[in-house]
Amino acid sequence: MQADKERIARLLSYKNLLHRFESMGFVRFFSDNLADTLGVSASLIRKDFSYFEIVGHRKGGYYIDAVLERIHEIIGYDEEHKVALIGVGRIGEALIQYEGFKNHHIEIVAGFDNDRNKIDENSTPPVFHMEKLGEFLSNNAIKIAILTVPGHVTQPVIEILQEEKVEGVLNFTPIELKSTDKLMVRDINIEAELANLIYSVKQLKDKQYN
């Protein structure tokens, strides 16, 4: 699981760099071109491409448009993804306003919250009261949800998601959730990520002065 997560992270790096190459007018590339810019080995890139069945030509390299098409297919960017956002606090509001999702066929189609001051069924996307969550998920065949609710209401919400056969959750709550055979969970602990970053910066600084 961790290995796949790392491969996907690298795949996204390849995708972003290839879009940059494409905007500069390049049509083809070699693994060395990606390696030099990203600071990884060309052999690792070739291994990733082989793992995901991304093919090129021994002497001609890879065609950017073909590789991007395959990456989008692997990640799922080649189809529409309707997402429900549960918890319209500061993080939720920021995610709703993020325009970048549209570039990857990801659409937050509705938000849900218990605070009636945040309810606006005529906004884009609409924000409904939590009591309508189960019905909305069922009627709209929602398979992906983003969870930004307070920790104490996480479990009841997860039970609703499982009941309505949601298949994936991006979890921003302070409660660490476990994936099951029917529900895939990705925990995003911002505090932990910042702590790791601060620690790494400190280690780097210590090395510079030693």
Total domains present in the chain: 2
Q: What is the pLDDT of residue 26?
A: 94
Give dist(CA 54, CA 119) in Å, integer: 45
Residue 197 covered by a domain: no
Would you say 96 and 88 are in contact if contact means Cβ atoms under 8 Å apart? Answer: yes
Average pLDDT over residues 116-133: 95
The answer to the question of residue 199 being in a domain is: no
What number of CA atoms fall less than 13 Å from residue 17's CA on the CB side? 19
CATH code of the domain covering residue 50: 1.10.10.10
Q: How many Å apart are CA 150 and CA 172, to the nearest integer?
A: 9
- pLDDT tier for residue 23 given thresholds of 50, 70 and 90: very high
Residue 180 within any structural domain of the chain: yes
Residues 6+ apart with CB under 8 A from 132: 112
Domain finish residue from 29, 48, 75: 75
The reply to whether 168 and 125 lie within a common domain is yes
Query: In this structure, are 174 and 88 located in the same domain?
Result: yes
CATH number, residue 85: 3.40.50.720
Q: Tell me the pLDDT tens digit for each residue of 36-48.
A: 999 999 999 999 9
Assessment of whether the complete model's pTM goes beyond 0.85: no
Do 32 and 71 lie in one domain? The reply is yes
What's the token pair of residue 103?
């570039």
pLDDT tens, position by position, 92-110: 999 999 988 887 889 999 9
The candidate with the shortest Cα–Cα distance to 112, out of 97, 144, 141, 134, is: 134
Regarding whether 50 and 28 lie in a shared domain, the answer is yes
- Tell whether 87 and 169 lie within a shared domain: yes
Range with the lowest mean pLDDT among 2-11, 91-100, 127-136?
A: 2-11
Angle, vertex CA 67, rays to CA 63 and CA 68, nearest 5: 115
Residue 206 within a domain: no
How would residue 79 be classed by pLDDT, with cut points 50, 70 and 90?
confident
Print the domain residue range for 149. Answer: 81-191
Q: What is the pLDDT of residue 25?
A: 94
For the segment 151-169, the average pLDDT, to the nearest whole number, is 93
Rounded alpha-carbon distances, angstroms, from residue 141 to 30, 91, 147, 173 = 41, 24, 17, 23
